[in-house]
Chain A
């Protein structure tokens, strides 16, 4: 009960501030619709919104999954070699330094206006935090642990898969938690640049037609989706954190 309240209380507070702002300053509904109008749109146009929400959710979840797998794999491939890291990391940093908006049109050109370009955008955003966190996990092995394992005369591959990789897992999952909170950016930006469905597309259409309440309804659903995806990834990562953390 306490946990539910902990989640609900900030949401209720936000709605209260929103609602009172609309009433106190008499803001017209086409600038800032009151929460009841947004709720009404959510109810009336449930089928339309849920269809677009499904598209966006799929893009976020698949992008998060693919980006995490790619990020983890790249980190595993370069994690054991400082030379490979020095070659690869600058390229990874450049990929993050470029704004998503700048890459989006190129991805549209290459991959089309469908699901693939949004998947690529989301994966690209997710990729770097997961790679960086996993690499940090490889570097975090305490020196005394490393020295101890060296005296066991291990095979390099065995040491990597049996010790270093599991010890890096909590770091990877911490990266996935960060990535889960930014993954919706990739999907939405992709939909804004070019798409025929998704919450980003719905928001653009609603904005063009002056349907501010529908735009807000899409935004509320997007927030709910983002929160759900983040809390699921948080739960999964906390389970593995306890299992593989070296600080126990």
Chain B
């Protein structure tokens, strides 16, 4: 156990948050948190609705004096896949290159086609995304996040709107495709993360608690206690 902790401590820090106050505009502060995330760490961020989980991810992306992020290469996936309905699946995956004004070369196209295979969307490249199902759209968004080769993946309940079987499929994909990546997954339901994440942090009004063993939260009582800040 001590050895495992030492291994984590020598790893490079990707994200360092020091006394960040989470608040909605015009409302009382939700919590003040400090947190260090290391390279390769994969963690589920649990919390009640309105506890500030999504706000935390947004603050990480938009930046703050209390947040030191060692990378600009951040990928973000939310419940809404944010796909442009008037362009094709392939163009949506390559959107980052287009928006940065970078020339799309053959290696980008090869990578995009490989990702389409990885997310089981082979043959969909020319389809407009408005004709895709919810699960297919989520997979396109996943491919778009992966092509950016980000150092830090922030996932804000990306599969919450999907049915159970599609959700299981998506978590299996994440388990394979996010190996060795640094991941923070915001979720209400620990079951969404159990198959691919081990640790959890819990955001309460008292601050950020953890790390906990995610498997402990299979028991509803333990989960409720943790969310209330009593663990």
Q: Which residues of A contact B (CB under 8 A)?
A: 142-145, 147-155, 158-159, 162-163, 166, 243-246, 248
B62 touches which one: A150, A245, A248 (CB < 8 A)? A150
Smallest CB separation, A240 vs chain B (Å): 10
Q: Which residues of A contact B86 (CB under 8 A)?
A: 166, 243-244
Q: Are A163 and B84 in contact (CB under 8 A)?
A: yes
CA A140 – CA B92 in complex, angstroms?
A: 20
- Is B210 at the interface (CB under 8 A from chain A)? no
Name B's A-contacting residues (CB within 8 A): 57-58, 61-62, 72, 74-80, 82, 84-86, 95-96, 98-101, 130, 141, 148, 150, 154, 156
Contact at A159–B82, with CB atoms within 8 Å?
no
Cβ of A147 and Cβ of B76 under 8 Å apart?
yes
| Residue of A whose beta carbon sits closest to that of B131 | A248
A148:B99 contact, CB within 8 angstroms: no
B99–A147 touching, CB < 8 Å: no
Residue of B nearest to A158 (CB): B99
Q: How far is the CB of B123 from chain A (nearest CB, A)?
A: 21
Most buried by B among A145, A162, A248: A248
Assess the A158–B100 pair: CB atoms within 8 A. yes
Which secondary structure dominates where chain B touches chain A? mixed
Q: Which residue of B is nearest A243, CB measured?
A: B86
- Which residues on the A side are within 8 Å of B154 (C-beta)? 151
How far is it, in angstroms, between the C-alpha of A151 and the C-alpha of B77 when the chains are bound? 10
Contact residues in B for A150 (Cβ distance below 8 Å): 61-62, 76
User: Which residues of A are found within 8 Å of B61, using beta-carbon distances?
Assistant: 147, 150-151
CA distance A229 to B78 in the complex (A): 42
In contact, A153 and B85 (Cβ under 8 angstroms): no
Docked-complex contact A153 and B72, CB < 8 angstroms: yes
- Give the chain B neighbours of A166 by CB distance below 8 A: 84, 86
Q: Are B85 and A151 in contact (CB under 8 A)?
A: no
Q: Which residues of A contact B150 (CB under 8 A)?
A: 151
Find the B residue at minimum CB distance from A166.
Answer: B86
The answer to whether A153 and B96 touch across the interface, beta carbons within 8 angstroms, is yes
Pair B99/A159 contact, Cβ less than 8 Å: yes
Choose from A142, A163, A244 the contact partner of B80 (Cβ within 8 Å). A142
Given contacts A153-B100, A158-B100, contact A148 B78 (CB under 8 A): yes
Extra contacts, 11 of them, besides A244-B86, A245-B85 (Cβ < 8 A), are A144-B79, A144-B82, A147-B62, A149-B82, A150-B62, A151-B76, A151-B154, A152-B95, A154-B100, A155-B101, A163-B99
Question: When chains A and B are docked, how far (Å) is the Cα of A243 from the Cα of B155?
Answer: 28
B157 to chain A, nearest CB (A): 10
- Say yes or no: A162-B75 contact (C-beta < 8 A), given A145-B80, A145-B82, A248-B85: no
Q: Do the beta carbons of B130 and A144 come within 8 Å of each other?
A: no
Chain B: which residue is nearest A167 at the CB level? B84
In the complex, which residues of chain A have a beta carbon less than 8 angstroms from the beta carbon of B101?
A: 155, 158
Cβ of B16 to closest chain A Cβ, rounded Å: 19
CA of A246 to CA of B84 in the docked complex: distance in angstroms? Answer: 7
Give, as a whole number of angstroms, the nearest-CB distance from A239 to chain B: 12
Contacts of A145 in B (CB 8 A): 80, 82
- Residues of chain B within 8 A (CB-CB) of A158 are 98-101
A152, B100: Cβ atoms closer than 8 Å = yes
Which residues from A are CB-within-8-Å of B80?
A: 142, 144-145
A-B contact pairs, 7 of them (CB 8 A): A142-B80, A147-B58, A147-B61, A154-B100, A155-B99, A158-B98, A166-B84
Contact B98 A162 (CB under 8 A): yes
Residue of B nearest to A159 (CB): B99
Contact assessment for B85 and A243 in the assembled complex, using a CB-CB cutoff below 8 Å = yes
Inter-chain contact A144/B156, CB cutoff 8 Å? yes
B58 touches A152 (CB 8 A): no
Q: Which of A148, A163, A245 contacts B76 (CB 8 A)?
A: A148
- Least Cβ–Cβ distance between A15 and chain B, in angstroms: 43
A162-B99 contact given A150-B61, A151-B61, CB 8 Å threshold: yes
Chain B neighbourhood of A144, CB < 8 A: 78-80, 82, 156
Whether B74 and A154, one on each chain, are in contact in the complex, defined by CB atoms closer than 8 angstroms, is: no
